[in-house]
Chain A
Amino acid sequence: MTDFRLPLGSLVESFVDYITETFDFLFVFIRAVFDGAYESIEYVLGEPPFWAIMLVLGALAFGIRGWKFAVGTIVGLVVILGVDQWDNAMDTLALVLVASVLTIAISVPLGILAAKSNLASNIIRPVLDFMQTMPAFVYLIPALILFRVGVVPGIVATIIFAMAPGVRLTELGIRSVDKEVVEAGQAFGASPWRILRQIQLPLATPTIMAGINQVIMLSLSMVVIAGMVGAGGLGAEVVASLNRIDIALGFEAGLSVVILAIFLDRITASLGDTHSTGMFGSIRVVLRGRKQTDAAPSSVPALAPTQPARV
């Protein structure tokens, strides 16, 4: 052994100390905002009676994927209720929703930036790699110092951990929009902002939605770690069962996480799929159909690709 030692750890430590002292007001602010967001969602989900929430989620499932999924959702929620994890599940759902929304709000614009600028892409890419591969526990330490025990460090760690796929898939989606179509926008004189709004984002939507789905799944996978720093919910139950070696509790809490995961995954997956069945899909079709008949009342075109008349 030699005396060679890189003082990286202590450097980062003093950096965090410095940040904490200098930007204390900022962290107080962020803490208040995140906490407020979480509290309100938690209130919305936790306050009404369980059957009301079940009905709403069941209706959502029906609207997005159809009646089979609605039935599955109700059954799953009844199981959660049956193992006495309802309140914890609602806490966790609130945590995941808040963390996911914040992650998406950060990662989609970053993805757009990375798609538009090679420089930004080259900077963002290694940072994301770093954030995603650094063990998630490590974020907890500064997060704890900066935001103190509670739900906020959990949310922050989740955002950092779950951001990568949101950014990556947004960038990928926008970059893989057919170049010629983007050129068409430019060739007719559309501004970059308009091309983004009318061409790139709509065409990248399926890929971006896949990214959002990934973000939500990763957020859910962070609930246990968030539970360790006092975020409560199902995560805290799992941590407790680990401490007490309580297999029964561990299984029940774990199963509830799985049920929530399946629900969220199926919902977000079908949002990205424009051909989804279910009520929203039909609404889209109906709307389009109505627009058609409005604009061209006379012509109901045959779908057979007949050659149109020459001019």
Chain B
Amino acid sequence: MTESNTAPIAVKADHLYKAFGRRPHEIVKKLKAGKNRDELSSLGVAAVIDASFEVKKGEIFVVMGLSGSGKSTLIRMLNGLWDTTSGTVTVGETNITDISAKELREVRRKSISMVFQHFALLPHRTVIDNVAYGLEIQGMGRDERLAKAQTIIDLVGLAGWAENLPSELSGGMQQRVGLGRALAADTDVLLMDEAFSALDPLIRREMQEQLIELQAALGKTIIFITHDLNEAMFLGDRIAVMRDGRIVQIGTPEEILTDPANDYVAQFVQDVDRARVLTAASVMEPVRSVITKTAGPRAALRTMRDLQTSVTFVLNRDRSFAGIVRDRDVLKLVKRGETDLRSIIRDDATAVLPDTALVDLVEPSVESELPIAVVDEKNRLLGVIPRVTLLAAIGNVTTNTGPLPVVMPPATISISQITDVLGESADDTHLATEGARA
């Protein structure tokens, strides 16, 4: 899902405009001069206004917006099905805006294919002939293209249906054929215009998951159009939100959720299924209550007293996450005068990777009141997610307007008691004064 900024650009849109009407160029000229779309409605429709973006190789780029916001118009300019009124489109290395019809066909054969909302299969051809269609146009021989189409048919889960007509298939299966046809053409870029919108929700989910698997396996660049925010959030590495022909924000799903560019986007995203989109990394809080394993029980207790929490995170010497200690246990240890924390470190705290979806954190957080640790692949502690933070994030309660009153399980033992214990056995006044100062 993550790619470096140096990844090559697969598709580039540069200040695209598309207007319908008698004099589209005049509309675009006036738009550029600062008029807005509604003032020009007597001249025609400005369907896409000043759209610019770059899609990196191997990325899933989602364009999202309400009906009529210009998504289909935009995607049809990306493979030249519709001319741009102004602006240029670059596919791979080729600027497709000014090339001849013949060259454009060549680009479509080699570099960019498409999956359609209503499947657009050739109804008079069998599944396998449909899947092989792109190859046929590329000029591949019959035997070779049928063999290749057969492997694609198996890949999209239609084995055994090769010789049926599309009309004999269910909607979900027909769209698999549509997807198979685009995959068989083996172009780098796949355009998908509301490809799953005509499917019912369960099949749709399945297709989304399958698309992600395929994308991971084949490394295609996918430009996906949808009006469904949850779909956008689920599929998109980055999302462009369109409104009235303009792209109002481009960002990762989390950026769009947590930092909407304007009220429109904010309103748009307010009923998204946040638990599936937000990741541990986006809601975790910095770890404050942390000590190293070798620090000893007294240091642990002091940390907890100062931060008024009942738990503290323990790290190994290499900064990797070792576990959690609780104030009660530490207190006992200190009272007994022991100096080694190891015996009381609990390893039942949940540790998750930063890209875990919040929905997967709900269960551990219900089972245990301990905060969830977020660690990287090397098990280094990156942050923590207390239960309240998790609930606030899922419920879309603003967490960044100020510090929450309670972020960690509150202390279960009073400060004075701890201070007493520390003072009782204190042989280091330096520590005591430092504690008092805090």
Contacts from A to B (Cβ < 8 Å): 178, 180-181, 183-184, 186-191, 194, 198-199, 202-203, 291-292, 295-296, 299, 301, 303, 305, 307-311
Interface-facing stretch out of B161-169, B272-280, B294-302? B161-169
Tell me whether A198 and B122 are in contact in the complex, defined as CB-CB below 8 angstroms, given that A183-B116, A308-B158, A311-B210 are known contacts: yes
Tell me whether A190 and B160 are in contact in the complex, defined as CB-CB below 8 angstroms, given that A305-B170, A308-B173 are known contacts: no
Specify which of B76, B108, B137, B160 is in contact with A301 (CB 8 Å cutoff).
Answer: B160
Q: For the complex formed, measure the closest distance between the CB of B138 and the CB atoms of chain A, giving whole angstroms.
A: 7
B260 in the interface, Cβ–Cβ < 8 Å?
no
Q: Is the CB of B156 within 8 A of A311?
A: yes
Tell me which residues across on chain B come within 8 A of A311, comparing CB atoms: 155-157, 210, 213-214
Whole-angstrom CA separation of A305 from B138 in the bound complex: 32
Whole-angstrom CA separation of A182 from B110 in the bound complex: 19
Whole-angstrom CA separation of A311 from B183 in the bound complex: 14
Tell me which residues across on chain A come within 8 A of B434, comparing CB atoms: none
Q: Is the CB of B137 within 8 A of A194?
A: yes
Contacts from B to A (Cβ < 8 Å): 76, 79, 81, 105-110, 113-114, 116-124, 126, 128, 133-134, 137-138, 146, 155-164, 168-170, 172-173, 176, 181, 185, 191, 203, 206, 210, 213-214
Q: For the complex formed, measure the closest distance between the CB of A191 and the CB atoms of chain B, giving whole angstroms.
A: 6
Q: Is the CB of A292 within 8 A of B163?
A: yes
Q: For the complex formed, measure the closest distance between the CB of A45 and the CB atoms of chain B, giving whole angstroms.
A: 34
14 other A-B residue contacts (CB within 8 Å) besides A187-B79, A308-B173, A311-B214 = A181-B121, A184-B114, A184-B116, A187-B191, A188-B134, A188-B181, A189-B105, A189-B137, A191-B105, A198-B122, A303-B168, A308-B161, A308-B176, A310-B210
Q: Is the CB of B169 within 8 A of A305?
A: yes
Tell me which residues across on chain B come within 8 A of A291, comparing CB atoms: 163
For the complex of A and B, 4 pairs with smallest distance between CB atoms: A189-B109, A189-B108, A292-B163, A180-B120
Q: Is the CB of A187 within 8 A of B161?
A: no
Q: Is the CB of B120 within 8 A of A184?
A: yes
Q: For the complex formed, measure the closest distance between the CB of A12 and the CB atoms of chain B, giving whole angstroms.
A: 37
Q: Is the CB of B159 within 8 A of A308?
A: yes
- A186 to chain B: closest residue by CB: B81
Q: Is the CB of B173 within 8 A of A202?
A: no
Q: Is the CB of A181 within 8 A of B163?
A: no
Q: Is the CB of A187 within 8 A of B163?
A: no
Q: For the complex formed, measure the closest distance between the CB of B30 and the CB atoms of chain A, giving whole angstroms.
A: 26
Tell me which residues across on chain B come within 8 A of A295, comparing CB atoms: 128, 146, 162-163
Q: Is the CB of B157 within 8 A of A187?
A: no
Q: Is the CB of A305 within 8 A of B157?
A: no
